[in-house]
Structure 1
């Protein structure tokens, strides 16, 4: 195997076109290498003393903090505002060790146009992903969005030494899942109070006088997040009997999800059309999508669609009947019924609660 010439690779791929977006690659063998590979981008500035990487270029503005909280436990926190549609790709140098698992959660905001006069609503998206060593993950970021995402990196050894499980059998299941085969899982929202947690972590990073001034706070906080992740993941049964996939399959599924999210305001395009976009058979796409996202493609579209609609109800003055139309429902009654089934309240009741100041 030949070592990856990272500077040469960057010169050939950085901000090249990739599936309709501009490519932003980084190395993911370890958190240290991830930070170093991003610091080597020709558009970034690296302050090693503060463990801070920053950039302000024609494609995106961003700041990354990185910290080692304990042996085998790191956090890399990034605040980002894309100026162009970007796809961030986790890559690997095959000649180097890759023994870190990455648990990532993101809190992003974007402005959704409500009409042709310029009125818009600010909507928020929270997601969580988990991927194993040597899994090549593609993440899409869209022009006009702003937000933060957090990569929590940990080793199998850290899990064995620090995580407490409810039973020996549960611990064995977790360790069985943490093997060296590829694996990528996505949850719409599995991190408790993700927005509050995001603010707390970011404030702590900014307030540290030196990068090593408060490692225990990070160690305790990340420990809680990882522990809760495993509890929630065991509850939905997705870690059991998980089958690893090829990296090319993960990339194709990410492309299918991108296509779906770009068209939430439209009826579901159908598995056949999505499969054509992804470049695989409908049967294979359905199976892989369910494995990665925990929903069928239609269920995922409905879930994202309703979460999107709820934010319009809560964060905009748009009439419910217009929200129903934006969300792709033919009638207000069908929209209200789906809304109440998912959230336990009618959209008019949800809006009244917000107006009355309960949120």
Structure 2
């Protein structure tokens, strides 16, 4: 009832701020530069902007949280966003100007982001007392003037560390560096047909410690005037080189596939659907492709690109992560858990569980 009231209320402002499509509130913003990003979000309703703390925050019917920003030096900014979502929200990145204008100036910015997406699955209280969270980590690297849609599902708590830098800063600080050339990014930037990179992380890399690092470096929740800019500059450069090393060691440029705007939207919705149907059997590639209006080939290839695993393996591994939560919660016996997750008997479930986690369900429960 409440969600219906919110939807009706927001529809009053639809032509000014929002659209509602495919189950998401779409919020357009101009994010081609950190300055335009700040101006765009500052114009939204329910937003507070503390210029002294370099922070934009909000608590509204759609989401709660905000982002901190700092200019590291001329042509380079850092933006750290933390948001909890009360509804499905899609941020649509737009840019002012003509689509056919390909020339990149210092008014346009590249965006390198380390992302932590924490989607949750709410189960009935008799199965699990708490929401089960499935974290996903990834890199994204966008060229200037590239359209992007960032999907955020209801119940998610997401974090993004984004570095903005313009063409002059790129040419002066990164292009001359040997590891930049070895990473393959020189050819990526020069290729006009390539627009952005999405690269999934496993979640056990030391790179993800950067979230704790930037919490401290940007004094999140504190006073931005007390930030050690030199230390923040060091952390920012270190994060860039983490990405460059990943590109070199994993041949990211040689392996990634660019996704079309609508395809990425569909892929994210497929992943969320699977997470919310872990007690069901795997529906099949053909059924998922039809349900979310994407070809079977694209679904298989692009799902692996975004989430780092073939779609069935991802579904199977998510079942095992859910099983671990249920065992730890200690509300159901192991036989019940195996039955709910679709296993013929507890023995087959235990074998699959140990293969994934390296420990038997019974051993985990005892510990």
Partner of 2:356: 342
Note the C-alpha offset of 1:281: 2.0
Partner of 1:189: 202
Shift of 1:125: 1.6
Residue 55 of structure 1 contacts residue 63 of structure 1 at CA under 8 Å; is this kept in 2? yes
Partner of 2:6: none
Partner of 2:9: none
1:57 shift after superposition: 1.5
User: Compared with structure 1, are the counterparts of its residues 58 and 147 closer, same or farther at alpha carbon in structure 2 (3 Å cutoff)?
Assistant: same
Structure 1: 5+ residue runs without aligned partners? 1-9
Structure 1 counterpart of 2:187 = 176
SS of 2:187's equivalent? helix
CA RMSD of aligned residues (A): 3.5
1:161 counterpart residue number:
173
For 2:45, the equivalent position in structure 1 comes to 42
CA contact under 8 A between 1:163 and 1:227: conserved in structure 2?
no
Residue by residue, what CA displacement relative to the aligned partner does 1:63-104 show, whole Å, maximum 9, x if unpaired? Answer: 221122344443322232222232233333344854312313
**In structure 2, which of residues 76, 79, 82 is the aligned counterpart of residue 79 of structure 1?**
82
2:346 maps to what in 1?
332
Matched residue, 1:26: 29
1:112 corresponds to 2:126? no
Matches within 5 A, 1:1-359: 12=15, 14-95=17-98, 98-106=108-116, 108=118, 110=120, 112-116=122-126, 119-121=129-131, 123=133, 125-133=135-143, 134-154=145-165, 157-158=169-170, 161=173, 170-171=182-183, 173-179=184-190, 181-190=194-203, 192=205, 197-203=210-216, 204-206=218-220, 209-211=223-225, 213-240=227-254, 242-314=256-328, 318-352=332-366, 355=367
Q: Cα offset for 1:307? A: 3.4
Give SS of 1:239's match.
helix
The total of aligned residue pairs comes to 343
Distance 1:316 1:148 in 2: 30
Compared CA separation, residues 62 and 263, structure 1 to 2 (3 A): same
* TM-score normalised over the length of structure 2: 0.77
Q: Distance in 1 between matches of 2:206 and 2:41?
A: 29
Cα gap change, 1:117 to 1:274, in 2 (>3 Å): closer
The answer on whether the counterparts of 1:18 and 1:87 sit within 8 Å (CA) in structure 2 is: no
Which consecutive residues of structure 2, in runs of 5 or more, have no partner in the other structure?
1-12
Secondary structure of the structure 2 residue equivalent to 1:29: coil
Larger radius of gyration: 2
Instruction: Measure, in 1, the Cα distance between the counterparts of 2:172 and 2:282.
Output: 43
> How far 1:109 sits from its partner (Å)?
6.8
